[in-house]
Structure 1
């Protein structure tokens, strides 16, 4: 602070004195000139002179305000002193901007104008110290920022929030200083003036500042990773969560400071690609201006380098974890197969009255559960946390269940079919317009094979919501046959023949006894019902055998089986004599 004030005060005093001197020099310029200036040059010089006079007046006012602030600073303490320092920083930046505006105006004066010659000499000499003064002032501001940062780290609560806000304002002021210094020097170079001597060190200062911020970002990244690991082990520790939040906020501030340094480096046409790469990798906000070919190449190069180093460092552990992962999967696959065998043997030997479908489902589910457990344990060997995975599966299951309501309906129907057992494997059923032998069932659908060897897959909700006809559910079935004889045939003889034919078949059960009765008197026949009982698997053999045997025996016994016929009677018509 003490170093900056005299230099800035002297530089501003010189600027004001020179510019005031320029007014008198311009007044004497016509007397010194041997040739009168043209009308155009005279008008331009008058306009520039008016602008210079206005700027000089404003500059004097700013210098006066800075002088008053410096006097007050000698007596101020505490928050008042900080406020006065901040205000004087803003005034100093305004002075730099005024000097930046004065320089091009001086160069607009005619080359033969003595005012321009005098001011150019001063700008190249005394006023060049303004850049050094701003640079020194910036160094002092850096020191204040470090002190403020130390106070922030020691504070807590409301006081910490206030100090952080003050720290952000100082950091923004630092950016303004850098920007003003660069713009001031660039404008001098654009007008053919030599660059500021202070800018020779500014690129190095920016590189050092950027490296410091990168170091802070990397250090905070490592600390954040360590805290996250500890928080996984002890998720109930609120202090760890609070510390993690604070570190993340600090890292975001470091990245913002690094982003400002990159913008300043771009103004100076310096290579900022490595630092933009860090911003893209660590920052939460991505800007299009951060991307270019160098940055992308740097990201690819860093990623490949990190991958190679990670492979070299963790190759042994990675191979071991992979082998452990594969071994765990194979082991649980073997366990699943063994469990399925044990389940099958246990269910076959048990006295539980459960269907074959239910047995198969229980066996499949037990093996699937074992495989899922093995997969989860194998993933845990790779370091994958199962808690978030299970939570994600729960959320995903809710979403999938909402989207697949019909499929869930099939699951529910399948469960009800397994529970109430309306049919089993190899049963002949008629459901939902389909008939055939049940070959397979899952919780979603039932597979039916028709007699002509077609395969039908019927959703379970279609089956459970309709009438289920199980033809082969019982051990024995009744064969229903109907035979008709002529009205001229003997009923007792026919009954005796039918009894003999049924009794002669070896697959007809003696108990229950078959039923053979005169059933109906039809239009052209007397109909007998023949109802023997057989085992379910013999149904069609008995049906076809009895039908053939009855027809052969009726033919042998002279019993006729009538068929529909129509008698046509022709009556002659007598003709009268008039019709001839």
Structure 2
């Protein structure tokens, strides 16, 4: 019975040989194209990738198609070997299960014989049970060896996939269409784990983790991915600092534009680094970039308002109507510019509210930069009564303005009688100050004028209305 059970294993081996010979013949047939060109790069299926690239450089599109077919035939043959080996593992598992059932049946029969039959017959059954267990152990070892052999075959398949991908890249670069090849490669790549067979699944996972073409390769790729990202992050930081120092020399660039340029350069370097890091994970970034381009075209229509803000942000950066820290009136909002990006501007109001204004609202309306110049004029108006001394009032205001330490001598301050109002004679008082001192001077001068007018008997009238009441006699 044991010899009969071993027979399927030999049948599987014979089947391997037949299929390998047939696949080899197919590979040879694929090496010759329609024009008589024969594939030359498949002579050594383990050829180094860099050497393969050099051999492919002079080939035409038609010749590359022949090379791709030849490598595809080798890949197909290897996939067939893997499939046959996996089929053999499953059959081995079934054989082992049958042998174990036989051993279990012999054990049960032995127990029954010990109770009703002679000891010789029980010993015979014990011997058969031991033989069945030994056969099961032997088959288990063969199955383990077969599973480990599948790991080796998968490594060889990975090598063929890598080399076929090199051929397809060159083929695509010269105008060929590798879509059908890549679909087949995607379909036959990867590792299939039979979760119903715990021991085989563990051996498969363990073999993949410890193989050069499996876990070790991906560990190296992930490490390279992380190192690439880290290197480009460090590079972006260094370049950003260098660019910032270089831009600080220019007096014509605003802080907003400097921040935009530094941030844009850093982010561009990070994007390039991320794309290169993806290639380290063996991800084809070409289709990803194509998808991003198509998506960007669609998003452009969906976000027209945002793009308008983006364009307005660029115009603000180029024409520099204001900078960070300037006091402005834009888009119906008054306050200090806190920060800006290409979409919006953050303004901090005098009562400490943070308001985000779209750049389109800013650029499409009047922009008032209150602190755009280093020097500002403080415009104030003071009124006196019609009965007061005009010269005395003007002298008081001129004295207050000229004695204030923050008022500039040039341009000279102006104090003039401006108009005759309904209730008062109005003077304009216009000293020049540094922009940072505007409100200090405004408040100081206003307070001093009130105090001096009160001290020297100059009145400050307020609007008033006289009401006259006329009484008429009832008999009139």
Query: 1:411 and 1:238, CA in 2 relative to 1: closer, same or farther beyond 3 A?
Result: closer
Residue aligning to 2:358: 459
CA distance in 2, matches of 1:496, 1:439: 42
Query: 1:307 and 1:395, CA in 2 relative to 1: closer, same or farther beyond 3 A?
Result: farther
CA distance in 1, matches of 2:162, 2:284: 15
Give runs of aligned pairs for residues 288-307 of structure 1, distance below 5 A: none
Measured against aligned partners, the alpha-carbon deviations of 1:337-356 in whole angstroms (never above 9, x if no partner) come to 111211221111x2340111
CA distance in 2, matches of 1:304, 1:402: 52
Give the 3-state SS of the residue equivalent to 2:172 in structure 1.
coil
Q: How many residues align?
A: 325
Alignment root-mean-square deviation, CA = 3.7
Matched, 1:508 2:445: no
CA distance in 2, matches of 1:382, 1:566: 87
CA distance in 2, matches of 1:244, 1:566: 98
CA distance in 1, matches of 2:435, 2:176: 76
CA distance in 2, matches of 1:242, 1:555: 94
CA distance in 2, matches of 1:463, 1:243: 54
CA distance in 2, matches of 1:416, 1:401: 19
Residue aligning to 1:553: 452
Asked if the contact 1:224/1:244 (under 8 Å) is kept, the reply is: no
Give 1:392 shift: 2.4
Asked if the contact 1:428/1:471 (under 8 Å) is kept, the reply is: yes
- Larger helix percent: 1
Asked if the contact 2:194/2:201 (under 8 Å) is kept, the reply is: no
Give 1:320 shift: 2.1
Give the 3-state SS of the residue equivalent to 2:338 in structure 1.
strand
TM-score under structure 2 length normalisation: 0.60
CA distance in 2, matches of 1:243, 1:455: 57
Residue aligning to 1:231: 168
Give the 3-state SS of the residue equivalent to 1:564 in structure 2.
coil
Residue aligning to 1:338: 238
TM-score under structure 1 length normalisation: 0.50
CA distance in 2, matches of 1:568, 1:404: 64
Give 1:299 shift: 12
Residue of 304, 318, 323 corresponding to 1:419: 318
Any gaps of 5 or more consecutive residues in structure 1? 1-148, 158-217, 252-280, 283-294
Q: Which has the higher contact order (CA 8 A, sep 6+)?
A: 2
Asked if the contact 1:525/1:562 (under 8 Å) is kept, the reply is: yes
Query: 1:310 and 1:221, CA in 2 relative to 1: closer, same or farther beyond 3 A?
Result: closer
Higher CA-based Rg = 1
Give runs of aligned pairs for residues 234-273 of structure 1, distance below 5 A: 234-236=171-173, 244=181
Give the 3-state SS of the residue equivalent to 1:330 in structure 2.
helix
Give the 3-state SS of the residue equivalent to 1:457 in structure 2.
strand
Any gaps of 5 or more consecutive residues in structure 2? 1-25, 36-153
Give 1:224 shift: 8.0
Residue aligning to 1:517: 416
Matched, 1:537 2:436: yes
